[in-house]
Amino acid sequence: MTDTSKRLVLKFGGTSMGGPVRIAHSASIVAAEVRNARQVAVVVSAISGETDRLLTLAGELGGGLGEVETDTVLAAGEQVSAALMALALKREGLKARALLSWQLPIEVDGPPGGARITGINPALLQACVREGVIPVVAGYQGVTSEGRLATLGRGGTDLTAAAVAAALKAECDIYTDVDGVFTTDPRIVPEARRVARISHEEMLELAAMGAKVLQTRSVEYAKAKGVVLRVKSSFLDPGVSEGTEVVPAADIAERRVVSGVAYARDQARLSVYGLDPDSGQAADIFSALADAEVGVDMIVQARARSGEAVNLEFSVERKDLKRALSSVETEISRFSGTSLAHETGLAKVSVVGTGLRGRADVARTLYDVLRGHEIAVRMVATSEVKISALVEADLLEHAVRALHAAYGLDQA
Amino acid sequence: MTDTSKRLVLKFGGTSMGGPVRIAHSASIVAAEVRNARQVAVVVSAISGETDRLLTLAGELGGGLGEVETDTVLAAGEQVSAALMALALKREGLKARALLSWQLPIEVDGPPGGARITGINPALLQACVREGVIPVVAGYQGVTSEGRLATLGRGGTDLTAAAVAAALKAECDIYTDVDGVFTTDPRIVPEARRVARISHEEMLELAAMGAKVLQTRSVEYAKAKGVVLRVKSSFLDPGVSEGTEVVPAADIAERRVVSGVAYARDQARLSVYGLDPDSGQAADIFSALADAEVGVDMIVQARARSGEAVNLEFSVERKDLKRALSSVETEISRFSGTSLAHETGLAKVSVVGTGLRGRADVARTLYDVLRGHEIAVRMVATSEVKISALVEADLLEHAVRALHAAYGLDQA
């Protein structure tokens, strides 16, 4: 074992900090890790409901998200819970101290309410750990170059945890109210099983699913810094939760190809017909969509007839459809011979796994299974770690169950 | 008018910050001062009830007052209200920003929960004021030389306000839920009137009364720095509250000698008989009381018989009596020929005014009035600004009413 493997960051989310009783239980989990001769640091969210309460207070005085004063209000939530966790750890007989972002400091940049971490000074963290004092870092926030507090957006404490883990060269356990990541949503497929180990890339795809167990940017940060994450439940006794380990793809030697089936509801498809393949019209359309802040997900470009105009199809979230249609209509009105169509009532089902690109057998199974269940495929897109299909919304749960079984995910 | 007279610090206490509606009203008072071409800064307490809520939370995890982590919890209350006030001021069309103690910084020293301000860097405050941005300072806290947050004790936001006013060479309006300081407690004497102008010394005596409108240390700080304070009500429309002005004694030219009648309930008297006047025994007794953290109030030493032993009498608060008796008993057990007696069921009534020492007429009126109402005087002590008498608790309100009338305080 290297030195690094002895260091552990434990992150506790809002439900794990849901009042004094839950904080005390989370502290007992930390104490168990210390008894395992671990050097630990802790990162905490605000008490569950507190961020919403503070946001409402600010809102009543005209302070919305993205306003610098609102961020100063919101940042108080984690300040309180960090100090409460330090108190709980002291009651466990441990040494601990709350560490606020300006005390380290954790440097951030970007807009209030959506700042990103640009640096973290590890000196104070390391000094604490060396002296046997458990640092309890207030998550979700940092200090700007102007010396003001700024928050990292919803789920930002996961990002703080990843950054603290990177600064301490530690692994990072993310405690939440579920025991890891599942092969799919257990509400749809009761046979869904916990995934023991996946890559950061796969986690990014599975995290986009209903149960948002990890903030996307935190996984991206962990991936970039090579931080091993573990998603665990703080609602089990210390040491009981096995959770899901998220590791660099290179560390996954032998494994099943498909690790889970993700889904997203409320999707819409746009189809643009008759684009000139040599004019850069497609780029203009995506540029207009970006200006309208529409997130484009799946993109398929198919040549309509050899040597002639091309058709472009892509999916957006239902809530963005109106903005998307408006901006595409404005754009293609400049191009003669083009037309626009759209379809709603769709959902996306995704098969997630490592190294899927080029795995024709995985793609074939997808097509076979969906056709076998008479589920029409409206669009397909692939990436390194997933194959996604757009299907009728009514058939989504049917598709999830069929694919989950077909890839053998319900078997241990 | 000097530059200084254009600068004003407005402090809003918990009731003036009692939720969004009250915060908005307090912001309208600030806006009115800005329209008067005032350069202003604001200092705020936590929303009423918030400090108690946070203290309870910390207490449930073993964090009492005087614990460094508890202070980090408590400090969040003013962080929230400072940012909320900044939002409310922006909605008034003003420029404003929350300023936290570590951002200035406000340097403090001493124990958590009872720190004192040792320095305040005026640079950021002055920069804000110059640029037309209203600084809204989080009260009740500062940052220690170790870079940790520490609170100033109950009412500490008054002290922050006095310090900010001193740093800006400004006057300081303390907004609370009463319209100034009264000649006595209106609950006892309905004819009590608002005092328009008193010295810091008198304020210190009147503030010790039931209605604690100003924290004692803030008045001492203002006295030392020559800061003019005004106690005003934030529950009246902007500009309506006349309040009480607290100024250096030298600035009070012509005035009535007696400005108010203060009182304190739950007093006890201790009498030590037979001390050797040449042995330093009295000093030993007070030293023992100080070690036991007993606050001694009135002290009277009378020679029992010429050339022989002396008797020492002093008053303490009823809640300290047990500790006082125990420490005095231990101490005098070393001195032969001494004895100890005590009396409870007492209260203190004080006549407060500027330059009372040597004003025999004021003292004579006190004796005359109390004797005239058949109120026995158990002890009398005088200072520069007050004459206090210990009386039977049952007769306290009767004494307050009689003295208030005798000194003409119910007349405009």
From the list B68, B87, B147, the residue facing A63 with the nearest CB is: B87
Using a CB-CB cut-off of 8 Å, the residues of chain A touching B57 are: 20, 80, 84
The single residue listed with the structure tokens 């960051």 is A9
Indicate the average pLDDT of chain B.
91
From the list A61, A84, A149, the residue facing B91 with the nearest CB is: A61
Indicate the SS3 state at residue A11.
Answer: strand
User: Which chain B residue shows the shortest CA-CA distance from A86?
Assistant: B69
Which of A12, A28, A67, A80 to mutate to probe the B interface, most B CBs <10 Å? A80
User: Which chain A residue shows the shortest CA-CA distance from B63?
Assistant: A87
What is the SS3 assignment for B225-258? HCCCEEEEECCCCCCCCCCEEEECHHHCCCCCCE
Provide the H-helix boundaries in A208-338: 216-225, 281-291, 321-332
Gap from A56 CA to chain B (nearest CA, Å) = 10
The answer to whether the CB of B128 falls within 8 A of the CB of B134 is: yes
User: Quick check: B51 pLDDT over 70?
Assistant: yes
CA A56 to chain centre: 25
Backbone angles phi, psi at B284, to 5 degrees: -60, -40
Closest listed residue to residue B135, CA positions, set B177, B171, B101: B101
Judged by CB atoms closer than 8 Å, whether chains meet at A83 and B102 is answered as no
Task: Assess B89–A contact: CB distance below 8 Å, yes or no.
Answer: no
Contacts of A292 (CB under 8 A, 6+ apart): A323, A324, A326, A327
Question: For position B256, what pLDDT does the model report?
Answer: 66
B167-218 residue pLDDT tens = 999 999 999 888 888 899 888 999 999 999 999 988 988 876 545 678 888 9
Quote the CATH superfamily of domain B4-249.
Answer: Acetylglutamate kinase-like (3.40.1160.10)
Using a CB-CB cut-off of 8 Å, the residues of chain B touching A57 are: 20, 80, 84
CA B364 to CA A69: how far, in whole Å? 59
Task: Assess B99–A contact: CB distance below 8 Å, yes or no.
Answer: no
Question: For position A210, what pLDDT does the model report?
Answer: 47
Binding residues of B are: 11-14, 51, 78, 176-177, 187, 212-213
B235-248 residue pLDDT tens = 888 878 789 999 99
Contacts of A61 (CB under 8 A, 6+ apart): B20, B23, B24, B84, B87, B88, B91
Judged by CB atoms closer than 8 Å, whether chains meet at A80 and B69 is answered as no
Question: For position B210, what pLDDT does the model report?
Answer: 47
CA A97 to CA B68: how far, in whole Å? 9
Judged by CB atoms closer than 8 Å, whether chains meet at B61 and A97 is answered as no
Which of A25, A84, A94, A102 to mutate to probe the B interface, most B CBs <10 Å? A84
The single residue listed with the structure tokens 């640096």 is A119
Judged by CB atoms closer than 8 Å, whether chains meet at B103 and A148 is answered as yes
String of DSSP letters for A189-209:
-TT--B--EEEHHHHHHHHTS
Gap from B51 CA to chain A (nearest CA, Å) = 12
Task: Assess B54–A contact: CB distance below 8 Å, yes or no.
Answer: yes
Task: Assess B61–A contact: CB distance below 8 Å, yes or no.
Answer: yes
**Report for A235-244, B14-23, B206-215, B256-265: range of highest mean pLDDT:** B14-23
Which of B22, B48, B57 to mutate to probe the A interface, most A CBs <10 Å? B57
Contacts of B30 (CB under 8 A, 6+ apart): B10, B40, B42, B89, B92, B94, B134
Question: For position A242, what pLDDT does the model report?
Answer: 85
CA A210 to chain centre: 11
Binding residues of A for ATP are: 11-14, 176-177, 187, 212-213
From the list A62, A82, A96, the residue facing B90 with the nearest CB is: A62
Question: For position A1, what pLDDT does the model report?
Answer: 37
Cβ-Cβ contacts under 8 Å between A and B: the total is 109
CA A349 to CA A389: how far, in whole Å? 5
CA B296 to CA B281: how far, in whole Å? 16
Which of A22, A57, A104 to mutate to probe the B interface, most B CBs <10 Å? A57
Q: Which residue has the higher pLDDT, B402 or B240?
A: B402
Tokens of A64: 């919305």
From first to last of the 412 residues of chain A, give the pLDDT tens digit: 334 458 999 999 999 999 999 999 999 999 999 998 889 999 999 999 999 999 999 999 999 999 999 999 999 999 999 999 999 999 999 999 999 999 999 999 989 999 999 999 999 999 999 999 999 999 999 999 999 999 999 889 999 999 999 999 999 999 988 888 889 988 899 999 999 999 998 888 887 654 567 888 899 999 999 999 999 988 888 878 789 999 998 887 656 688 899 999 999 999 999 888 777 888 899 999 999 989 898 888 876 566 678 888 999 999 999 999 999 999 999 988 899 999 999 999 999 988 777 778 888 889 999 999 999 999 998 888 889 999 999 999 999 999 999 999 988 6
Overall average pLDDT of the B286-307 stretch:
82
Beta bridge partners of B260: B352
Task: Assess A92–B contact: CB distance below 8 Å, yes or no.
Answer: no
Task: Assess A148–B contact: CB distance below 8 Å, yes or no.
Answer: yes
Using a CB-CB cut-off of 8 Å, the residues of chain A touching B61 are: 20, 23-24, 84, 87-88, 91
E-assigned strand segments in A226-338: 229-233, 244-247, 258-275, 296-303, 310-317
Gap from A170 CA to chain B (nearest CA, Å) = 25
Gap from B261 CA to chain A (nearest CA, Å) = 42
Judged by CB atoms closer than 8 Å, whether chains meet at A91 and B60 is answered as no
At the topology level of CATH, where does A261-406 sit? VC0802-like (3.30.2130)
Instruction: Name the percent of chain B lying above pLDDT 70.
Output: 95
Using a CB-CB cut-off of 8 Å, the residues of chain B touching A61 are: 20, 23-24, 84, 87-88, 91
CA A197 to chain centre: 16
Query: Which pLDDT band holds residue B253 (cuts at 50, 70, 90)?
Result: low
Letter for the amino acid at B384? E
Residue spans of the domains in chain A: they are 4-249, 261-406
From the list A58, A60, A72, the residue facing B79 with the nearest CB is: A72
Q: Which residue has the higher pLDDT, B343 or A309?
A: B343
User: Quick check: B304 pLDDT over 60?
Assistant: no
Judged by CB atoms closer than 8 Å, whether chains meet at B86 and A69 is answered as yes
Overall average pLDDT of the B148-167 stretch:
95
User: Which chain B residue shows the shortest CA-CA distance from A77?
Assistant: B76
The single residue listed with the structure tokens 């750990």 is A129
